Structures are given as C-alpha cells and as structure tokens.
Structure 1
Amino acid sequence: MTKALVVVAVTIAVLSALYVWRSSSHKPLGQEAFDALYEAPAPKPPQTMNAMHLGHSLVSHDMPELLVQLSDGRYHYNSQLGWGTFLKAHWDPDTPINGFEDSNGHPQFRDAHEAIASGEYDAIILTEAVEIRDSIKYMDSAKMLHNWATKARANNPDVRVYFYETWHDLDDPEGWLERLDRDLEMYWEGAILRPALNLDDNPQPIYVIPAGQVMARFVREIEKRGGVGPIKSRTDLFSDTIHFNAYGAYLVALTHFAVLYQTSPVGLPHNLVKFDGTPAPDPGPEAAKLMQEIVWDVVTRYSRTGVPQQN
C-alpha cells in the first residue's frame, strides 16, 4: 500500500470513528465487561428450534428455507421483513414498512410484536438496515436492538437473541472488503451492540451471526485461488451489488446454522431447494466444502457467536 493510500485509510477510519461518536446517543458497554459477557459459550441449543427472523431483503425468503433443509427439518421459523427496513420501523406501528405486502405474503409471516409477545421462540434473529451509519445516526439502532431483546426476554427468559451482521454494496467507495474488516467492531459492535447492552442494568449476551465476516473470508479465499467450482469472484455470490443469489444464500444459511446449532456445517448437503420449490443452483462439492470449513473457522474464532471457541 502506498503512503498516500495509508493516509487516506487512516483518515477514513478517524472520520468514521468521529461519526459514530457524534451519531450515537448511548454510551457503549465497556470493553472489559463486553468481553466478559462472551467468555463462556451460549447454553447448548435445542435440536428442534423455533425462530423468528426480523429484518429486510438480506434475510430473504430463500435463506431461512435453506436453513430448514440444512437442519433436516428441525428448524421452524416465522418472519417479518421489508425492503431496507430499519429495526425502528418494525418496532413502531406508525412507521410504514416499505415493501411490506411483497415481503410478507407467505405462510411464514407473523406480525413481529405478536410473535415475540407469544414467548414461543427459542431464537429471535434481528438485523439492521444498511447503510449502517445512517441506521445508527437516524434510527437509534442501539435502543431498537435493546427494545426487541428486552421484549423477547420478558416473554421467554430462555430465548436467545441474535444480531445478524450483513454487508454493504459491492461498489461502496470505501471498499467492500475494507468495510467488512472495519465495520464489525466499529459499528455493529461499537455503535449498536455494546450501547444496547449498556442500556440494561444486568446485561445478557446478544449473540452475533457474523455473515459479513464469513463473506469476507470466503471471497478472499476464492479470489486468491482464482475461483472454486462455479464461484470465481465476489460477484458470483450476488444477484446485484448487495442482494445474495443462491450461492450467497447458501453461505449465509450455513453461517446461521453453525451459530444457532453450535454445530459444524461441514458435510451438510448442498443440493437444496429454494423457497418457491425450484432447485437452488448447486455450488458443487468443492465450493460447498470450502464454504462450510470457512464458516466453522470464523464462528469458532469469534466469541460473540456464543459457539464454543477453538483453543
């Protein structure tokens, strides 16, 4: 990296940190206390799981359906989605959810407040809209994550709450991989998760599903190798510059499986069916195995997942 690029990178990092400091009105949980929350893994999960997904199109209809198949039918889910929907829009009944009818016209839809108030779920999986900085600045992401987690636990003290980390546009001017490297600690943790935890007198872990980190690791590996199977570059995981295609959905579903079940995905099937019942494009055995191995390596080296860590 040239000296000029180093200066630019440092400048962006400093400005981004300043942006977060000015944007968030909530003080983050201290680093030592934050680390301590995740020293022990999450309790062993049930093998048959009921889950609620709350988010937007980076959840999609296909990804949870792939998860059902990866779990051999032991995963049961409902969802409430929208187009680019903020956690605040899901929380506030007076805030319209863009694309609500198109996103939720299926049997797995359940009103989010009704679902979480039921106490029927083992896992609640939340994600925030990207651009993540705008969500933090304008939509009080930390408070919304806290609100949903608090409501879930009030209705089921044993529920696990998960925060699904996503990614930004492939054409992001700051660099797609560069943002994945930086944003997890700076924004997803530093400006949302840690402040959300600090709003509690007695914080309980909210576990992270690090799909963005898995994407970054997998993309670096396939691009270093010049491609694996049908996947030659990062664009082969996407249908446009941000929404995953069937290969990307499979990678994200594997990540959810590994975190939710605390189980290695190595050896899971890769010839699956999409939400609409049509065959999902098969990444093939070599690419699928690489995906599975990378997923397990990432989640067992990042304690926020709640998965038992590698020694």
Structure 2
Amino acid sequence: MSGSRQPWMHLRPGAAALAAAACLAGTGAASAPTAVGPEARTIFLSGHSLLDHPLPDDLAALLEASGVAIIWDRQHGAGSSLRERVEGAGTDRDGRPTGPDGGLAGRAYDTLIVTEQHVLPAVLLWNDTVRQLRRLHDRLAAGHPQAVTYFYTPWMALDDKGDPRRWIAYERAAAPIWHCVAAAAGSDLAAKGRRDRIETVPAALALAELIARVTEGAGLPGFTGASVRETVELLVADDVHPTRLGSYYLALVVYVAITGRSPVGLRVPDDLAPERARALQDYVAQGLPEAALPDPDTCAAQLRAGGLDALWDYVERAHGRPEHGFLRAHWARLRQAVQRRWLLWRQPDWNPFRPTG
C-alpha cells in the first residue's frame, strides 16, 4: 500500500457546521429536532447491529466534547436490509416502531448515517440498494435541502481471527464497490442544482486497515496481544461485531467523516484503556491509505467481467459454510452462479449502479 494518506471525510472542514446551521434555521415544512449551542447537529442513524450501541453514544460524546450540541434518533432493525428500513421496519432509540416513513418524513435532520446488509454480492444482485439509498436520502432532503447522507459501509465476518489476511483482502476489494453504491445514488444531485449530498464513510475498510496495522504492520501502542487472534479480539468480539474498543474506533471514524476535525485530545470514555483509546485517536487522524476510487460504470464492468465470483469465494467461506455446512454452502454457491449467469445472459449490460434520478 502507498505510504500517503487520504482523509476519511468528503466535506471540507467547516462545511458540516454550515449545513447544521442551515438545518436549524428550518424550512417551515418540517419539524426540526431542537439542539442549542454555537454549533449543533441533528443526526439520524438507520441500521442494524453494526451501527448499534455504543457507537451512537460514543459519537454523541465525541461531538459534545468538541463543543457541538447534538440531538439524535435512529431506526434500528436487527439484521435488516436497507429496503426493509425504507419500508418502515425497525424501532427508534426508545424502542418504538418507526412506522412506514422510516422515521424521517416530516423531520429536519442535517445528517443521516445509514448502512446496508453486509453480504455485498447478494446486496448487488437482490437488494436494490442504490434506489433504496436514494429513497431514504430524498426523505432526509425533504426536511432539510442541504442535508448529507453518509453511507456507512458494512463488513463481512472474519473467517479466521487467527489469520485475518483473507478478510482484509476481501474488504479492500469490496471498498471501491461500496463507494460506487453511494456515488451512484447521489450522482445526479449536483447536476439538478441540489445542495444535498450522499457520501461514504468507509467503516469496513477502516476496520480492515486497522486490523492489518496491528497484526501485520507497525502496530499501535497497547495493541500487541500474545497472538494474532488475541490482538484481533481486542477489536472484534465474535466474528463480525465490534468490541467496546472496536465500536469506539468506528465512532471516531464517523466523527472525523462528518465534522472534518481531528479527534486527537478529545476525552476518552471512562470504560476504555486510555493508551489504546489515544492510539486510536492518533491513527484515525492520519486518514486511510490513498487509493483511486472508480466510477459506478467502471464498477459495473468489473462485476460483469467476474468480479462477483471473486467476492463470492470469500462469502462462501466466511458466511455460507459456518451457517449451512460445506455441502449446502457449496450447493448454494453453484445455484447462485447459475442465477448470476442467467442474469448476465438476459441483461449483458447489467449495471446495479445506474442512477435512479
């Protein structure tokens, strides 16, 4: 990987504050959650267990520690797809059903943080994610025309925490495709004269690069376990869900993405080891390894040329076999291969990233 770094965020420093101020001014048509202070944010999270507590609490604490007043709510559905949440599945932060509008209609939030199910090949083939992401974003923008949606990329399960190299390679390959999902959903906003945007928070790649750093690279202070597995288990609890420390790290990634600010020096939660938390703050402030990001048409061409098969190799190992056993997982893989080839035969120009308008 290149030694140069790129920032986590897409907004320039200060743009988030301007967007928040515009949100609080309101449009008269939507009910704005009330937040007070020299700078304030109103944030809505739509997701499942990869975006669950304590990440929202850590994000709120980080914002408040940097002088930002925050009001937030959420739509949470365990294991839910984006389509299911767009259609109303899930509960808010108090456990109440969000209803058919997904909790956004008639509300003025300046920021939406949203994720999708994590099996990327299946998402591309069957979840209609680009259109569903745009539908949810349009609900957000109806309440605040300068709002920003951040697509929080989900990650696959680790097939072997004692040797995470296959998983790291998968997430590095998946990251540009997740980027294309968000890019396609928002591709025509500027051309239409709209000031709202859809951006990406590369959470999956961020986690993969951190695990690569602490298991293969120079390491970080406080992250040297007796084995690779023990080191990984500082960040990943089972095979996919973050530990308390892992969740804090991901909250740092989101914080930098939506504010454009460094988290270095912000107060560390009382239940975390200060040395590790400070090391994560410093690491996040450096940004991601620099990489070129493809456009959606390039992504689609790569998938048609066999990119889906390469992704399915890892999915079968990490998801299919543990859940269904080797024979059933392999049979499912063959069935999916036939379905994919039938799809491409019927639609040789298949493109799951086509703008939806």
TM-score (norm 1): 0.70
| CA distance in 1: counterparts of 2:289 and 2:42, whole angstroms | 23
Give the letter aligned to residue 232 of structure 2. R
Q: Residue 244 of structure 2 aligns to which amino acid in structure 1?
A: A
1:261-297 superposed Cα distances (whole Å, 9 cap, x missing partner): 221001122224xxxxxxx3x1332x22221122122
Query: Aligned in 2, Cα 1:207/1:60: closer, same or farther, shift over 3 Å?
Result: same
Which residue does the alignment assign to 2:143?
155
- Counterpart CA distance in 2 for 1:261 and 1:243 is 25
CA contact (8 A) 2:82 2:115 kept: yes
Aligned to 1:121: 109
Q: Which amino acid aligns with 1:283?
A: A
Q: Deviations over 1:88-111 (max 9, x none)?
A: 001124xxx4xx5xxx47527672
Task: Give the 3-state SS of the residue equivalent to 1:270 in structure 2.
Answer: coil
1:107 counterpart = 2:94: yes
Asked if 2 retains the 8 angstrom alpha-carbon contact of 1:231 and 1:237, the reply is no
Given that 1:229 and 1:284 are in contact with CA atoms closer than 8 Å, whether structure 2 keeps it comes out as: no
Deviation at 1:199, TM superposition (A): 6.2
**Separation of aligned partners in 2, 1:132 and 1:214:** 17
Structure 1 residues 206 and 251 mapped into 2: Cα distance closer, same or farther (>3 Å)?
Answer: same
Match runs of 1:18-57 below 5 Å: 43-45=15-17, 46=20, 47-57=39-49
**2:238 alignment partner in structure 1:** 240
Inter-partner Cα distance in structure 1 for 2:223 and 2:179: 34
Match of 1:62 in 2: 54
Q: Aligned residue pairs: how many?
A: 248
1:126/1:162 contact within 8 Å kept: yes
Instruction: Give unpaired runs (5+ residues) of structure 2.
Output: 1-9, 21-38, 226-230, 294-357
CA contact (8 A) 2:157 2:240 kept: yes
1:158 is paired with a residue of what secondary structure?
coil
| Bigger Rg, structure 1 or 2 | 2
What is the letter of the counterpart of residue 286 of structure 2?
D
Q: Which runs of 5+ in 1 are unaligned?
A: 1-37, 273-279, 305-311
Indicate which of 270, 291, 309 corresponds to 2:268: 270
Task: State the distance in 2 between where 1:246 and 1:62 align.
Answer: 7
1:81 equivalent to 2:76? Answer yes
Aligned to 2:280: 291
Question: In the alignment, what sits opposite 1:20?
Answer: none
Q: Distance in 2 between matches of 1:116 and 1:105?
A: 11
1:91 partner letter: V
Give the superposition deviation at 1:149: 1.2
Match of 1:23 in 2: none
Match of 1:251 in 2: 249
Q: How far off its partner does 1:242 sit?
A: 0.3
Whether 2:131 is the aligned partner of 1:143: answer yes
Aligned sequence identity (%): 22
What is the Cα-based RMSD across aligned positions, in Å?
3.0
- Aligned mate of 2:207, from 207, 211, 215: 215
Alpha-carbon deviation of 1:58?
0.3
1:264·1:296 contact (CA, 8 Å) conserved in 2? yes
The aligned counterpart of 1:206 is: 198
Identify which of 212, 215, 221 aligns with 1:228. Answer: 221
Task: Give 1:254 deviation, angstroms.
Answer: 0.6
Q: Deviations over 1:135-155 (max 9, x none)?
A: 221110011011111221122
Q: How does 1:187-198 map to 2 (within 5 A)?
A: 187-190=177-180, 192-198=181-187
Q: Distance in 2 between matches of 1:71 and 1:125?
A: 15
TM-score between the two structures when normalised by the length of structure 2: 0.62
Instruction: Give the stretch that moved more between structures: 195-204 or 217-226.
Output: 195-204
1:116 aligns to what SS in structure 2? coil
1:14-56: per-residue Cα shift (whole Å, max 9, x none)?
A: xxxxxxxxxxxxxxxxxxxxxxxx6967824243211000011
Counterpart in the other structure of 1:178: 169
Distance 2:93 2:103 in 1: 15
**Corresponding letter in the other structure for 2:137:** A
The residue identity in structure 2 corresponding to 1:257 is Y
